[in-house]
A = this chain, B = another copy of it.
Amino acid sequence: MTQPHASPPRAAVIGIGFIGNAHIEALRRLGLPIAGVLGHEAGYTRREAARLGLRPYLSLDELLADPDVTVVHQCGPNDVHAAQNLAALKAGKHVFSEKPLGVSVEECERQVRAAREAGRHNAVNFTYRGYAAVQTLRELVASGELGDVTYLRGHYLQDWLLFDTDFNWRVGAPARETRAVSDIGSHLSDLARFVTGLDPEKVLARFTTLHPERRRPVGEVQTFASAGGQTEPFTVTTEDQASLLVEYTGGVHANFELSQVAPGHKNDLELGVIGTRGSATWRQERPEEIEIGTRENTRTVRLKDPRGAFTHYPGGHPEGYPDAITNVIRTFYSGLDGAGGDRIATFEDGLAAARFVEAAFQSHSEGRWVTVPAALAAQEGAR
């Protein structure tokens, strides 16, 4: 195993699409050096690298062989995450991976073990942890101000796949995979675990598919790229909507809704924590507010607290989604010196999400409650 570098960390970014560019922008805001980028194809990589003023890597080997690179940002397609992340760990790099960590529980487990053995820092980009208010909500729950948690409510509703002419590579996922659950349900699931510290134990899922057949553009498809031109019929095997009933540690019930076909709901992620003394709700579309309700006839909105580590502008100066990504990456890099912390998601959290998604899929398929396996650490501790 290669030794970590004493010099300041230097990033290389795999994948130069929408999310890869978001990582690059965040790294630059933070003044963190970027060694270079690797795209899916040499010509594309050279063009994008030139545009960005960065070094092109023409292969993963070339990237991993660069001793200047200390951190690999994984922003490539989902199905290469596992293999490339494992190679990066083997090469002694820290890995900051986009979600999902892998396309199966098994892929995720291997990466958790590999990261532990390599002793490298690792993270999965569950972006919503990057909002200051999400950190505050977690502290609020931990403080006991809400009493004991008794019930979780949440939804993640979107409308970008509303029409049968909407298409995206996510729609074309293989038959044994989920879509709404793995794409947006995993965010909600991670958020619930992070905020409450509770783990899901059982899940009952009900999926529905509004469009069993969609029009697929002939040619390649990108996230959020609008379709145009020629299309062909495509049989959809993944869900457009899902209801998830979950039982968390200690019998806490949860009811979650997911949809990618709910008109007017753009990126409507909401989590409500119901406790024995108070309720708290956070909505991604108004990210700086936490609404707290109590039995007394008051409702308090806790606004962005400008003194927090995730807040960089005074109260009333909205910080949004790009700032959340930047906060996650900032936290990862400040953790590289060992200070660390548990405020962003690690590979373990990526594995937990995969287990939840897999259990939900099985539940829907079999029409029954399915147990969500415990965390790897817990499992191994139990041996």
Give A contacts to B, CB under 8 Å: 25, 28-29, 31, 52-53, 146, 150-151, 153, 155, 158-160, 162-163, 204, 206, 208, 210, 224, 241, 243, 245, 251, 253, 255, 257, 259, 261-268, 274-279, 284-287, 291-295, 297-306, 312-323, 367, 369
A241:B29 contact, CB within 8 angstroms: no
Q: Given that A151-B208, A297-B315, A303-B298 are contacting pairs, would A259 and B274 also be in contact in the complex, using a CB cutoff of 8 Å?
A: yes
A248 to chain B, nearest CB (A): 12
Residues of B within 8 A of A31 (CB): 28, 52-53
Residues of B within 8 A of A302 (CB): 297-298
Please, how many angstroms separate the alpha-carbon atoms of A226 and B319 in the complex?
21
A297 nearest in chain B by CB position: B303
- Most-contacted residue by chain B among A210, A265, A305 (CB, 10 A): A265
Please, how many angstroms separate the alpha-carbon atoms of A155 and B313 in the complex?
21
- Most-contacted residue by chain B among A31, A151, A160, A268 (CB, 10 A): A151
Query: Which one of B300, B317, B321 lies within 8 Å of A298 (CB-CB)?
Result: B300
A159-B293, A159-B295 known; 15 new pairs, CB 8 Å cut-off, are A28-B31, A150-B241, A150-B261, A151-B208, A208-B253, A245-B245, A262-B279, A262-B293, A263-B277, A263-B278, A266-B314, A266-B315, A284-B316, A318-B320, A318-B321
Q: Given that A255-B257, A259-B151, A263-B277 are contacting pairs, would A304 and B295 also be in contact in the complex, using a CB cutoff of 8 Å?
A: no
Please, how many angstroms separate the alpha-carbon atoms of A276 and B25 in the complex?
36
Please, how many angstroms separate the alpha-carbon atoms of A319 and B159 in the complex?
19
Q: Given that A151-B259, A264-B278 are contacting pairs, would A317 and B316 also be in contact in the complex, using a CB cutoff of 8 Å?
A: no
Please, how many angstroms separate the alpha-carbon atoms of A210 and B25 in the complex?
44
Q: Given that A293-B264, A295-B264, A299-B300 are contacting pairs, would A317 and B320 also be in contact in the complex, using a CB cutoff of 8 Å?
A: yes
B285:A274 contact, CB within 8 angstroms: no
Residues of B within 8 A of A277 (CB): 263
B321:A322 contact, CB within 8 angstroms: no
A200 to chain B, nearest CB (A): 14
Please, how many angstroms separate the alpha-carbon atoms of A323 and B287 in the complex?
15
Q: Given that A285-B318, A320-B323 are contacting pairs, would A279 and B263 also be in contact in the complex, using a CB cutoff of 8 Å?
A: yes
A153:B257 contact, CB within 8 angstroms: yes
Query: Which one of B28, B303, B312 lies within 8 Å of A266 (CB-CB)?
Result: B303
Please, how many angstroms separate the alpha-carbon atoms of A251 and B205 in the complex?
16
Please, how many angstroms separate the alpha-carbon atoms of A355 and B241 in the complex?
27
A88 to chain B, nearest CB (A): 25
Query: Which one of B208, B301, B321, B369 lies within 8 Å of A300 (CB-CB)?
Result: B301
- Most-contacted residue by chain B among A204, A277, A292, A298 (CB, 10 A): A298
B267:A317 contact, CB within 8 angstroms: yes
- Most-contacted residue by chain B among A53, A264, A292 (CB, 10 A): A264
Query: Which one of B29, B52, B243 lies within 8 Å of A255 (CB-CB)?
Result: B243
Please, how many angstroms separate the alpha-carbon atoms of A263 and B294 in the complex?
5
B224:A314 contact, CB within 8 angstroms: yes
Q: Given that A313-B321, A321-B318 are contacting pairs, would A264 and B294 also be in contact in the complex, using a CB cutoff of 8 Å?
A: yes
Please, how many angstroms separate the alpha-carbon atoms of A325 and B208 in the complex?
37
Please, how many angstroms separate the alpha-carbon atoms of A28 and B284 in the complex?
26
A312 nearest in chain B by CB position: B322
Residues of B within 8 A of A264 (CB): 278-279, 291-295, 299
Please, how many angstroms separate the alpha-carbon atoms of A259 and B265 in the complex?
24
A163:B295 contact, CB within 8 angstroms: yes
In the assembled complex, 8 residue pairs joining A and B whose CB atoms fall closer than 8 Å, in A order, are A150-B241, A151-B259, A241-B253, A263-B277, A265-B316, A267-B316, A268-B316, A299-B303
